[in-house]
Amino acid sequence: MIRALILTCSNSSRGDDGVGLQIAHSLAIGICDPDTEFYSQQQWTPELAEAISRADLVIFVDASVAVAPGKVRTQAISPVSSATDCGMTHTCSPSGLLALAQLLYGRMPDRSYLITVGGQSFDYSDQLSEIVQRAVPVARERIRALLAGVSSPQEQTSSRTASSSDSLALFALVFLHRAPFLWLVCRVLSSFPLMFSQRTNWKLTPNRFTQVVDHLRSSGTRLLDLTISNPTRCGFAYDSAAIIKAFQSPEMLDYDPQAKGLLSARQAVAHYYAQDHDTRVDHESICLTTSTSEGHAFVFRLLCNAGDEILVPKPSYPLFEFLADLQDVKLVPYSLAYAQGWFVDFQTVEQALTPRTRAILVVHPNNPTGSYLRSEEVRKLNQICSQRELALIADEVFLDYSFTEERHATLADNRDCLTFTLSGLSKIAALPQMKAAWIVTSGPERIANQAADRLEVIADTYLSVNTPTQLAFPALFEQRHSIRLQILQRVLENRAALQLLLATQSACDLLHADGGWYAVLRVPSGRSDEEIAIQLLQQHQTLVHPGHFYDFPDQNHLVLSLITPAHDFLAGMQNLLRMLQ
Q: Give the end of a domain, one of 443, 478, 513.
A: 478
* pLDDT at residue number 41: 81
Question: Same domain for 192 and 331?
Answer: no
CATH number of the domain residue 356 falls in: 3.40.640.10
* pLDDT at residue number 182: 37
pLDDT tens across 544-565, in order? 999 999 999 888 999 999 999 9
Question: Same domain for 278 and 158?
Answer: no
DSSP H helices in 149-239: 164-174, 180-190, 208-218
Question: What is the pairing mode between strands 111-118 and 55-64?
Answer: parallel
Domains identified in the chain, total number? 3
Question: Same domain for 488 and 371?
Answer: no
* pLDDT at residue number 40: 82
Phi-psi region of 39 (alpha: psi -120 to 50; beta: other; left: phi over 0): beta
Question: Same domain for 462 and 487?
Answer: no
- Cβ(400)–Cβ(276) below 8 Å: yes
Task: Specify burial of residue 166 (Cβ count, 10 A radius: 0-12, 13-18, 19+).
Answer: buried
Question: In which domain, by residue range, is 431 found?
Answer: 240-478
* pLDDT at residue number 167: 44
Question: Same domain for 269 and 414?
Answer: yes
- Cβ(324)–Cβ(474) below 8 Å: no
Question: Same domain for 173 and 214?
Answer: no
Between CA 105 and CA 385 the distance in angstroms is: 50
Question: Same domain for 222 and 281?
Answer: no
Question: Same domain for 313 and 183?
Answer: no
- Cβ(8)–Cβ(39) below 8 Å: yes
* pLDDT at residue number 188: 36
For residue 96, give every residue at least 6 positions away whose Cβ sits within 8 Å of its Cβ, in sequence order, or none: 79, 80, 85, 86, 87, 166, 170
CATH number of the domain residue 213 falls in: 3.90.1150.10
* pLDDT at residue number 104: 83
Between CA 496 and CA 492 the distance in angstroms is: 6
Question: Same domain for 16 and 147?
Answer: yes
Question: Same domain for 212 and 270?
Answer: no
Distance spanning both ends of the chain, measured CA to CA: 60
Q: Give the end of a domain, one of 416, 449, 478.
A: 478
What residue type is assigned to position 150 of the chain?
A: V
Between CA 251 and CA 473 the distance in angstroms is: 13
Question: Same domain for 20 and 115?
Answer: yes
CATH number of the domain residue 25 falls in: 3.40.50.1450
* pLDDT at residue number 150: 57
Q: Give the end of a domain, one of 478, 512, 543.
A: 478
- Cβ(279)–Cβ(273) below 8 Å: yes
Query: What stretches in the chain show pLDDT beneath 70?
Result: 1-2, 29-34, 81-91, 150-194
Question: Same domain for 221 and 77?
Answer: no
